[in-house]
Every structure is written in C-alpha cells, then in structure tokens.
Amino acid sequence: MENPADCAFRTGLNKDGAIFQSNTLYLSGPFGAGKTTAAIERVLWLLRQEQVRGDQILVLVPQLTLGQPYQEALRSSDVPAGALVQVTTVASLSRSSVALYWPLAARAAGFADPRREPTFLNLETTQYHMAGLVERAAQQGEFDAIRLQRSRIVSQVLDNLNKAVLHGFTLEEAYGRLENTVPPGEKMVARLNVLRTARRISQEFRQLCLEESLVDYSLQMQVFLQVILENEWCRTHLFRSFRHLIFDNAEEETFAAQELVRRWLPHLESALIVVDEDGGYRAFLGADAENAVRLADHTEQRIRLRRSLVAAPGSARLIGRINRAVNRQADGGALEEGAEGEPESRAESPIVFPEHTYRFYPQMVEWAVDGIDKLVNEDGVPPNEIVVLAPFVSDALRFSLLSRLEERGIPATSHRPSRALNSEPAVRTLLTLAALAHPIWQRRPPRADVALALENAIAPLDPVRASVLAQAAYSVRDTSGVSLRDFASLRGDVQRRVTFASGELYERLRKWLADYRAESEFSPLDRFFARLFGELLSQPGFGFHDQPNAARLTDRLARSAQDFRWAIGGQQGGRLRTEEDSPVAAGSPDEGSTRKLEIGRAYMDLVEGGALGALYVPAWTVEDSAVLVAPAYTFLMRNRTVDVQFWLDIGAEGWWQRIHQPLTHPYVLSRNWPRDRIWGDPEEFRSRQESLRRLSIGLLRRARRRVYLGLSEYGESGMEQRGPLLRLLNRVHVQA
C-alpha cells in the first residue's frame, strides 16, 4: 500500500481533496531514489490544475544542465497547453532582475553613471578585465612569493569576489579569513603581502566595474541581494511573480540562493525543496550542503526516501562500510535497504578489485582498454554506459585512452570543463590559422604551432610530414604578410615526403587564407571561425570532417568570441585594454574594421593567456554513443548513471587533494567556518576525509552494475603510490 506521506507529496492533496494552502515540502534521500522524478510529477500535476498556469511555476536548479530532465518532461505531448514553466538558475534570475530594475538599482549600487546601460560580463570577459590589473601587479613583482600562472591568479581573485558576495562577507572580512590560512614560518609575511595585493586588485576591479557600468557575476549578485531584494517594491514584485516553486539539488546551491528561497517560502502557495544526501560536490564553487539541510526547518512536511533505485545491488552495504571506515556514518539509517527481493547480506559487492597489480602506469591504461573492449564487444555493453574516471585527466592519459580505444573501434570522448580553451588541439588549430589570416596583428605563431595546425587541419598529414611541411613552407621571420609559401615552390624532396595528395589539400587551405586576407573588410573573429569551419575544415579531406568533438569545440570557440565581441564592443565609449600599444589602428581601412581587428586581437590575447571557458551547455548535455573519459568530480556533477565505471590510479593522492589555491579557500570562505578560527592541518585532514567519503559514495550510487579498480605501483609521474582511496578500499575489503 502506498505510503500516505508519499501520496500527499505526489498529489498535493489533503484528506478532504483540497490543495494545501501552505504546501511546503522538504524531500531528501540518496542519489537515484527518484526525487527529481517525483518533482517532475509534481510540476505536471500542478499544470493539470485549472487555477495554475505554467508561468506561475518556477523550477530553480544550480546549473542549467540540471534542468534538462524538467525541460524534456515539459516537451511531452501530454503536457497541458498554455504558458511555459520557467526552468532557470538563481544566476539567471538575478541577471534578469538587475536588467529589469536597473534604473532603480544603479544609483543605489554606486555606479558612476546610472543612466548608462549595463554591460553584463561572462566568465571570459570578466577574466579579460581582471587580467590587466593582475598583469600590472605581476610585472612589479607583487606575486613573486607564489608560483602560479597568471590565469590561475585571475581565477582565484575572481573566486574571492564571488564567494564574498554569495556568503554575505565584505572584501575585508573575506581576505581577513584567508589570512588565517597562512601557516607561520619564514614565508608568512610574503604570503600575507600576496593576499593583500589580491585584496587591492579586487577593490580596483570593483571600482572599474562601477565606473564603466560593467556587471560581472559577483557585482550582479551584490546588486540583486543587497539592493533589489532590500527594496520592498522590487522584492514584492519578484516574490509575487511565481506561486509555486521547485528547488532541486539545493545542496549544490550557494548560501545566497538558499537564503533567497528561505525568504521566498512564506509568499508561495506551494514549494518543494529537493536535497541529495551526501551531496555538496560544488563546495569549491560555494555550495553549502549544511545550510540546505536547515531549509527543512522552514517547511511543513519532510519526506525522506531511503533506498536508491539505480545503484548496483550490494552498494548500500558497501556505502555503510565506507561511512564506518571514515568515522562518518550518516544519521538515522545510512545503511540503506538492499536491492528489492534480495537480502542485503547476500548482495554481491559492485566493486571489482584488480586481479593484478600493475607496476607501471601504461600497463594499467592498457588493462582498462582491454576491459572496455571485452565489455563492448563480448558482453554487449553500449559504449555510452561506460565511464573512465581519474582524479585528474591529464593530456597524456586522455590521448592514451582515446587513441587506444579508437584503434579498437570503440568511440570515446572526454569532458574537462576546467581545462583552458587553448589546451584543446582543435582550438589551437583555429587560433593559429586566425593569426596567419590576420598578419596585421603582428602575431607570428611558432613553427611548432603551425605544424600542429597543419596536422589537425589536413587529415592525411601525420606529425612528421606536418613538421616537414611547416619547416619548408613557413618562416617565423617573414614580415611580408604572405605567411605560407605555395606548395609548388617547395623543393621536390619535400613535396614527395609530404605527398601530392596532402599538398593539394594544403594549397586549398593556403589559398583560402590568402583570399580572406585580400578581402576589403575583415570579418569579426567569431564569423571567421564559423566560415573557416564551414567552408573548409569540415569538408572531406580536412581534419574536422566527420569529427563531432571538433565541431563542438569550434562552436564553443565561435560562441565565446561572439560573447566577447558583444561585451567589449557594446560598451559605450569602451576602451580596449590593449588599445594604447595596438599596431592595428595604423593603416587600417576604416574605423569599423579597426575596431573588429582590435577586439579580435584582444580575444586572442585572452585565450592564449590560458583563460577558462564559460559554461557551455552543449558540452554538458550531449550524450554521445561513446565511452566518457572525465575527472571524477566532473562526472558527479553531470548527475548521470552508467552501467560500468573504471576508477583509474586509485593509489593517487589526487582522489582527496584539493587543487593548490594559495589565494582562496572554499571552506574558510563559508558561513560554516568561524571567522577568527585558524585553518590548520587537522582541519585540512578532516575536510579531505569527508571529501573522499562523499566522492566514493557518490560514484558508487551512479554505477548500476560494476566498478572496476585500476592500480599501478608507480603513477603517471613515476612516483610510488599508496594513496588514501586505496587505503580506504582496503579497509572496506577487509570488513567484507
């Protein structure tokens, strides 16, 4: 018989058949228990009520990709016709609110010219404006105490700005907290000086935004939280815009978003808050899983689902042993029930320990490829039901896995969202060809980059022939603007080595670039990328033909360049950071072309400086019929289940280590950490233990059948490995 509480949740009716006047529900449980499915049913039930319109329902998710299940369900033919349900994020909601209430909010927020329209910045354009401030400080030696790339300094300073706003800290309080993480010692003063430089740059960046009407994410949230929500008229208008709220994956949201929902609850007719137990994987982005649990105190009814419907049999028992092994057993029945119809004590563990301990890292990679080959070709497992995970996916590991699987005829793809745009070979190819097509930029790419571009652009070329062709056809010292020599002018032995078939394709590429340079007006850079792909690189014989990943990367780069052009070119009287020393202006045909070239050159500087790409939804949502190779946390944040997982390099320390971030700290910049408490080694150890517990449990709950463990005595760098995940699994194995 159906549980009455579940029935009440599903239908939204009380025993008299009337809609709850204040129907606020808190739904929690493990991943795969059906919480999102139930929330979707809740939305569909609301749409069937005569007095509820679609535009009165709001679905909030931490990331747009997590709203895909709702979007797909709402596209179904049996959904009642009418206004659309809004599925969005707090970031999108805040941006639309800032744009709507700008005339009221601009002056109160401190903008120099409230009449000036705002320019909203994405991650890439924000990095562009911050990079100039960081570069000036670096040239003066103010960051010499830390060994960090410029792009990482930029991203960490921006991270501090974001977390300060999302947790309600002033910049002074945020950096005061960070100073408590600096260990005493000889370098203490130098590290403190670096943090003070970062604080000064944060203040300079904020002042720049206020003067130029630039709205980055942190300032957008600051205006929304501290101005719009504090204005009674604006707040009332916003809260009355929707009558019903679904807040899914609340544990992955920030303190600011959770507090927004808490304040909104009394004004809603119904609300459903959905929380994954043991979630909070976005802690490094400001997620506050502890505060999400506190939202239950503001709801009328709590429902807890205890059993995962997708995890492999035996996972519940294994998860209980992991909890005990790290002394973090969950409260109130963490030992979930076993698979339906099978006693938990008899359920087989989903973890498959390696039959052999390989000595060297490449042997472990070959073992994984052999295992995937057997699963696909002998056991009939679809490639997209297999995922290969590691704490970090290096270029070498990615290349080894993808190339070896391709040799076996098994499609494979990878996803690394924290990877800089210019790290992808397809992107580097496009950037190099763009530099060759715009000699007026005076950017002479190295010969090695030209060889790589030729190799990727011309399908028959291998690395050796591409290097020979680049050596003969390209001169770094050539200032004539010709860039590439025609194939017929090369020596006969070079032509024979490269082959005439490849030479014909090279000539088509060279002539396309020459014709582009001869045009009277240059295209914006995003259109150049689109034209180059559509007119040449996607055609048969060229490297991007029939390559979905190259097509996605080209689309991502073109969109990124377009957003940059709109943000930078759209500023009223906006001045490019490189305008003073740009050689483009002299000799340009007209002002419009000059502006396009300046923006294009500035974008090239940004990407080649190692800027991180903004969130690109297709990269998260595309479901290739291919094996996925990804970092473990990236896979967790996709909220996806697969039949089989391979955990590589389980002896590595990276399974519990945080990325080195000397300028920021995800735990100290949190409401859950006392302001004046010093972060030391015991706190770091406990946070790593908890992260390892959540990571291992989260992965186990996303495997329907098996988890294969890969181990080598020596890691990718040649160091012997006996890391924390290996020790944890050994303890769990002994308990079995």
pLDDT at 369: 95
Strand bridging mode 703-709 / 642-647: parallel
Separation CA 427–CA 560 (nearest Å): 12
Mean pLDDT of 199-214: 95
Express as a percent the part of the chain with pLDDT over 70.
87
> Residues 477, 483, 488, CA angle at the centre, nearest 5°?
110
Are 474 and 453 in contact, with CB atoms under 8 Å apart?
Answer: no
How would you list the strands of the sheet with 642-647, edge to edge?
Answer: 351-352, 703-709, 642-647, 386-390, 627-631, 412-414
In terms of C-beta density within 10 A (0-12 exposed, 13-18 middle, 19 or more buried), how is residue 45 classed? middle
What pLDDT does residue 653 have? 87
Identify the CATH class of 4-95+232-304: alpha beta
Q: DSSP assignment of 67-127, as one string?
A: GHHHHHHHTSTTSPSSSPPEEE-HHHHHHHHHHHTHHHHHHHHT-S-TTSPPEE--HHHHH
CB 411 within 8 A of CB 627: yes
In CATH terms, the superfamily for domain 351-419+618-735 is P-loop containing nucleotide triphosphate hydrolases (3.40.50.300)
Q: How far apart are CA 246 and CA 6, in angstroms?
A: 17
Cβ 202 vs Cβ 137: under 8 Å: no
* Per-residue confidence (pLDDT) for residue 571, from 0 to 100: 52
Does the pLDDT of residue 6 top 50, yes or no? Answer: no
> 216 — phi, psi (to 5°)?
-85, 180
Q: Tell me the C-alpha distance between 223 and 229, whole Å.
A: 9
pLDDT in tens, 266-291: 999 999 999 998 888 888 888 999 99
What average pLDDT does this structure show over 386-410? 91
Which residue type is seen at 655? W
Among 405-414, 490-499, 533-542, 607-616, which stretch is predicted with the lowest mean pLDDT? 607-616
Tens digits of residue pLDDT in 41-82: 999 999 988 788 989 999 999 998 899 999 999 988 788 888
**pLDDT: which is higher, 588 or 392:** 392
Rounded CA-CA distance 17/15 in Å is 6
pLDDT at 273: 96
Three-point CA angle 697, 703, 707, nearest 5°: 85
351-419+618-735 shares the fold of 4-95+232-304: yes
First and final CA of the chain: distance in angstroms? 35
Residue 598 pLDDT class (50, 70, 90 cuts):
confident
Task: Average the pLDDT over 682-699 and give the result.
Answer: 92
Region for 14 from its dihedrals, namely left if φ exceeds 0, alpha if ψ lies in -120 to 50, beta otherwise: beta
**Percent of the chain's residues with pLDDT above 90:** 53
Phi and psi dihedrals of 175, rounded to 5?
A: -75, -25
Q: Is a pLDDT exceeding 90 seen at residue 136? A: yes
Within 10 A of 180 (CB to CB), how many other CB atoms are there?
16
* DSSP characters over 457-500: HBTT--HHHHHHHHHHHB-TT--SS--B--GGGS-HHHHHHH-H
**Predicted confidence (pLDDT) at residue 469 exceeds the cutoff of 50:** yes
The predicted model scores a pTM of 0.84
Task: Give the integer Cα–Cα distance in Å for 297 and 276.
Answer: 17
What is residue 10's predicted lDDT score, i.e. its pLDDT? 46
**653 close to 390: Cβ distance less than 8 angstroms:** no
pLDDT in the model for residue 614: 57
pLDDT (tens digit per residue) in 646-689: 999 898 888 988 888 899 999 999 999 998 888 888 999 999 99
> DSSP secondary-structure letter at 720?
B
Contact predicate 691/190, CB 8 Å: no
Note the pLDDT of residue 613: 62
Average pLDDT score, the chain? 85
Q: Is 212 in a helix, a strand, or coil?
A: helix
Tell me, what's the pLDDT at 658?
Answer: 83
| pLDDT tens for each residue of 481-503 | 567 899 999 999 999 999 999 99
pLDDT tens-digit series, residues 163-197: 999 999 999 999 999 998 887 775 788 889 999 99
3-state secondary structure at position 528 = helix
Of 191, 170, 171, 169, residue with least CA distance to 180: 191
Judging by DSSP bridges, how do beta strands 119-120 and 214-215 pair with one another? parallel
* Domain definitions of the chain by residue range: 4-95+232-304, 114-225, 351-419+618-735, 421-608
pLDDT at 579: 42
DSSP letter for 426, please: H
Q: Are 612 and 418 in contact (CB under 8 A)?
A: yes
* Helix axis angle, 681-700 to 724-735, nearest 10°: 60
